[in-house]
Each structure stands twice: as structure tokens, then as C-alpha cells.
Amino acid sequence: MTQTILDKIKAYKLEEVAADKAAKPLEAIEAEAQGASPVRGFSDRLFEASRTGYGLIAEVKKASPSKGLIRADFDPAAIAAAYAAGGAACLSVLTDTPSFQGAKEYLVAAREACDLPVLRKDFMYDTYQVAEARALGADCILIIMASVSDAQAQELEDAATTWGMDALLEVHNAEELERASRLSSRLIGINNRNLNTFETSLDTTRTLSKLVPAERMIVCESGLSGPEDLSDMAMYGARAFLIGESLMRQEDVEMATRNLLANPLSPSGMM
Ligand SMILES: O=P(O)(O)OC[C@@H](O)[C@@H](O)c1c[nH]c2ccccc12
């Protein structure tokens, strides 16, 4: 079978993790995680924000494989502070370098610059990465259902729970959603972008939102650009949003964030 983009990412990520483990064994990273700054409740903050307004997870994203460089004057701490001042509930920080020009240090810098809970946005396969996420200060991890087995997803979720972190379960189709629903995390991320083809359509949320169990929270991810997109998606029950590119392209990130969140549809306006 031909290798997909996710397969390629997985291959280099497993090599990276092996090298990281050799440089810093599990016991050492666990000791760092033990001493890390206390967890900020990610899921709680998102639920709270989305009760009346929209829960925004604002992403610190320098570049992507589909768009190339997104923001040249990239200062993670300044961006994090602007997102917080603009009303974001949480942050997401890319720590993958080969595909996203992200870095572990960006997560540390972004989290130190504000008081928001932070998602480590990376491709997770090994519980070592979960301990490492906590050591860096992360409050939530991403589990991409398309890229892991059920057993792996369970193991990663359990590790997150052990460290007091939340997990965002990312899905792109009904089969992945069904698998995610068997895990216990409350956060279901519907990714509007297909990570293998980069095709992006809000129809993904329109279709899958109906299948998300009522007790879970939909996090509508990718391809969102203005307040109209948010009200459109809110009609399908999405009250939480993960947004990177469209905010990162703004000169005044704080103002753009504030404008995006200014007029939320009331929760009763849902279909
Ligand atoms: O920049 P956008 O289109 O607003 O998308 C943000 C976020 O959803 C996207 O970065 C993303 C969603 N799932 C991922 C998995 C890996 C890397 C990146 C992602």
C-alpha cells in the first residue's frame, strides 16, 4: 500500500521518540513531569466558556504542510498573550518540527505568557510523549484516531488521566467517531481537514455533529475563518472551536480574537 502523509509523520515521530528516550530515559522525563507546574483544567475551562459564549482553543501555529509558512514574525509568548487578552479559553501549541515548524520550547513560552490551559498539538503514539507533554507544562494532549489503534488510544488516554491532563479525541469520519465514543474523554474534535489529502470542508462537522453522543463536547477544528463560520457551526451544536491559521495571519491577533468571539449564537439557537 502507498504511504499516506500520516504514515510518514508516524514513521519519523517514532524515530524522534526513540532518540528522545535515549537522550532522556522515561524515569527522567517522569521526574520532570512530577515537578511540572500544576495542571490547568483544560476541559473545565472550555465547558465553562462555551456555556454562554464560544470556547475558543486558539492555536500557536507558525507553518503547516498544506500552507507553508503562515506567520513570519513568530513570537509564541506574544501570540499567547494576545490570544488570552482577546478572550480565548485555551491555547493549542504545535510542538512538531518537521511538518509544522513547531517546537517544545514554544509550548513552554506560550504557557508562561498567560494563564490559559494548553493543548500539546502533536502526533502522539507513545506514553513517553504524554509524560513529556506534562513535563513541558501541557494540560491536554491530542489523540488522532486516524493514526492510532484502539489499544493505543486507550493507553494514551489513560496516561493523560494519570498525569491529570485531559485528552482531545480527534475524528474525521463516522468510524473514527464511533471508536472515540468508546473512550471516556468528553472532548471530541471534529477535524474538518483530512490529514492525508488536506481537503478541508465544514461539511465534515455538519455530518458528524449529529452522531456525537450528547454528553460529549464537540470541538470544531480547522478551516474556520470568521464569525459567520462560528455561527454556522453553532447551528450544528458546536460551541468550541480550534482555530489557527486565520488568526495567525492577522496583524492584530488580540483584536481579531475579540471580534471572532463578540456575538455568539445563544446555546438555545442550536438545531
Ligand atoms: O489552521 P486551522 O485551519 O485553523 O486549523 C487549526 C487546527 O485545527 C489544525 O492545526 C489541526 C487539527 N488537527 C491537527 C492535527 C495535527 C496537526 C494540526 C492539526
At residue 245's C-alpha, the angle toward residues 241 and 249, to 5°, is: 125
Indicate the average pLDDT of the chain. Answer: 97
CA dihedral 126, 70, 81, 165 (to 10 degrees): -20
Considering its fold, how many domains does the chain have in total?
Answer: 1
Continuous H helices in the chain = 5-23, 26-34, 42-52, 76-86, 104-112, 127-136, 150-162, 174-181, 203-208, 227-234, 245-248, 253-261
Contact 163, 131 (CB under 8 A): yes
Residue 268 has pLDDT above 80, yes or no: no
Predicted pLDDT at 267: 85
CA distance 70 to 108: 21
75 occurs within a structural domain: yes
Residue 1 has pLDDT above 80, yes or no: no
Note the pLDDT of residue 150: 98
**What is the structure's pLDDT at 271?**
44
What number is the ipTM of this complex? 0.99
User: Is the predicted pLDDT of residue 200 greater than 60, yes or no?
Assistant: yes
Residue 161 is assigned to a structural domain of this protein: yes
- pLDDT above 70: percentage of residues in the chain: 98
116-162 residue pLDDT tens: 999 999 999 999 999 999 999 999 999 999 999 999 999 999 999 99
Domain containing 58 — which CATH number?
Answer: 3.20.20.70
Q: Which of 70, 148, 191, 202 to mutate to test the pocket of ligand 1 (most atoms within 8 A of CB)?
A: 191
Kindly state the cell numbers that stand for 112: 508562561
Whether residue 175 lies inside any domain: the answer is yes
Which residues span the domain enclosing 121? 5-34+42-262
Confirm whether 270 is domain-assigned: no
pLDDT in tens, 54-83: 999 999 999 999 999 999 999 999 999 999
Query: Does residue 269 form part of some domain?
Result: no
Q: What is the pTM of this model?
A: 0.97
Atom of ligand 1 nearest to the CA of 100: 17
Question: What would the mean pLDDT of 207-215 be, rounded to a whole number?
Answer: 97
What is the whole-number distance in angstroms between the Cα of residue 222 and the centre of ligand 1? 5
Residue 271 lies in a domain: no
